[in-house]
Amino acid sequence: MSTTSHNQPVAAETVNVRDLVDVQRGEISREIFINEQIHRQELENLFPRAWLFVGHESQVPNPGDFFSSWMGSDPVLLTRDDQGEIHVLLNSCRHRGMRVCRYDEGNTMKFTCPYHAWSYSIDGSLVAVPGDLHGVPHLKAAYSGRLEKEKWGLVRCPKVRSYKGLVFANWDAEAPEFDDYVGDFHWWLDNLADAFDGTEGGTEVFRGVHKWRIKSNWKFVSENFLGDTYHGASTHASVEAVGIGPGGKGKRRHGEQQNQGGFSKGRMKTSFRLGHGASDNLDYEIPYPTFAEDELTEYFRQAWDTRKQKLDREERPLGGRGPATLFPNMSFAAGFPRTILVAHPVSPTETEVWRWYLVDKSAPDFVRAWLRRYYMRYAGPAGMTEQDDMENWDYATESSRGVVARRFPYNYQQGLGEEQPSELDRAVHSNHAIAGEVNARAFYRRWAEVVDGLSWPELNKLAEIDERASGQRVGEADA
């Protein structure tokens, strides 16, 4: 992201956001989507404590490779050092804060700051060559040789986890470990990161990331992916009519197999106490489309048969192909298309959206070529489906920020009181209703607790109490 507007200090007057999120009644204030102070609290209390998706290992395959990314309000570099280890570094010089790397991606021996030329190695260390342009210029003359170089490397993110090639990071050393944070939501991540034939972590990204800005709050995006199946039939009616399915005709995702848009009876929602959510269609007899070209149909059919043999189970009920959101802002779909979307907060009413597209490492050229065309047709700023969604979010924001409009809450009452306990670890609810907002309620509940700045022990306690009340095992989630 080139510029952001979130560099102001947190004002003294903080907002208690739990007062604005009433999940019992299913009412949520519009303020949380437009208020500047709440946006600052998110940047302070949520993003530096959450596990955020930074990039994919396949974007930095070789020593010296780097990829520029963002974590909340902070620019970061995903790098791979000479030992093959991955690092996530704050992209800000320790001298006066200049961005040490202004490229989107590349390969380098070192990052040399453009301002006064301090140089850092690919793992972030301040290079220990005194007095020339490969280290700290004029080290001896300027610092009498006393600069403690080992203390002034680029700031390293303390918690980094590569999960089957998906790289996540967390600035808070006290935060729960990634696997505890995710719980059984890993089934959805597995479907994203594993190859179609079930090979673990058998995916890579098409190089290049779609990036664009929308005039609405980042939570619109997360919420939409974690369970808003309600919007499909209306929002995407025109796209469904045009027929942009994988087979070149029919509905968006599964050609002739998809029925009634978001209203198919086989929808299942799963919400997690720590805010993640997914929505899956159980109706598909087979989870791959029928294509116009026989060899494509055959490729995906074979991959699916191999997968079933390998995993010795059907895909259900252990996590489907989404769409889904890992709390707070990594959304994805694991089928057609298979894509990751991160909603970077820019301001209360502006979001920078980044889209990655995945492909099996072993996919032959004709499959890659077809997927590339399909992904471009389907998603991204020029894709037919994405435009439908963006327009709704932008107009909803514009017509919610007025003085009168913001007095009235949004309605989240769909399926209220009909939540069913889930059998999955750390999932709290599932709901087989045609449509329902159970996932959104769980997401905003967790969001409010974290944005209010509750400590980890306090957050753990709330999650524990909730799991007891719903008859689930008591989670060690954040212990």
Residues that bind Fe ion (CB under 5 A): 389
Contact assessment for residue 318 and residue 336, using Cβ atoms and an 8 Å cutoff? no
Residue 244 binding ligand FES, by CB under 6 A: no
Given 76, 77, 93, 221, the residue binding ligand FES (CB under 6 A): 93
Stretch that binds ligand FES, among 35-43, 94-102, 394-402, 415-423 (CB under 6 A): 94-102
Which residue's beta carbon is nearest to the bound Fe ion? 389
- 74 or 280, CB closer to ligand FES? 74
Write down the least CB distance from residue 116 to ligand FES, Å. 3
Stretch that binds ligand FES, among 89-97, 124-132, 397-405, 455-463 (CB under 6 A): 89-97
Stretch that binds ligand FES, among 79-87, 110-118, 292-300, 399-407 (CB under 6 A): 110-118
User: CA triplet 168, 173, 177: central angle to 5 degrees?
Assistant: 55
Contact assessment for residue 345 and residue 218, using Cβ atoms and an 8 Å cutoff? yes
Contact assessment for residue 432 and residue 420, using Cβ atoms and an 8 Å cutoff? yes
Given 52, 113, 343, 450, the residue binding ligand FES (CB under 6 A): 113
Tell me how far apart the alpha carbons of residues 368 and 299 are, in angstroms, rounded to a whole number: 12
- 130 or 409, CB closer to ligand FES? 130
Stretch that binds ligand FES, among 88-96, 219-227, 279-287, 335-343 (CB under 6 A): 88-96
- 126 or 371, CB closer to ligand FES? 126
Q: Which does 95 bind (CB under 5 to 8 A by kind): Fe ion, ligand FES, none?
A: ligand FES
Contact assessment for residue 23 and residue 453, using Cβ atoms and an 8 Å cutoff? no
Instruction: Tell me, rounded to whole angstroms, the distance of Cα 296 from its chain centroid.
Output: 29
Q: Which is nearest to 264 in space by CA: 242, 224, 238, 232?
A: 232
Token representation of residue 25: 């009644």
Q: Which does 156 bind (CB under 5 to 8 A by kind): Fe ion, ligand FES, none?
A: none
Given 11, 16, 19, 96, the residue binding ligand FES (CB under 6 A): 96
Q: What long-range pairs does 468-472 form, CB within 8 A, spacing at least 24? A: 470/421, 470/428, 470/429, 471/421, 472/421, 472/422, 472/426, 472/428
Given 118, 218, 284, 412, the residue binding ligand FES (CB under 6 A): 118
Residue 122 binding ligand FES, by CB under 6 A: no
Token representation of residue 319: 């996590």
Q: Which does 113 bind (CB under 5 to 8 A by kind): ligand FES, Fe ion, none?
A: ligand FES
Please report the sign of the dihedral spanned by the C-alpha atoms of residue 449, residue 452, residue 456, residue 457.
negative
Residue 120 binding ligand FES, by CB under 6 A: no
Q: Which does 77 bind (CB under 5 to 8 A by kind): Fe ion, ligand FES, none?
A: none
Q: Which residues contact 123 (CB under 8 A, 6 or more apart)?
A: 79, 81, 85, 87, 89
Token representation of residue 80: 């791979």
Residues near ligand FES, by CB under 6 A:
93, 95-96, 98, 113, 115-118
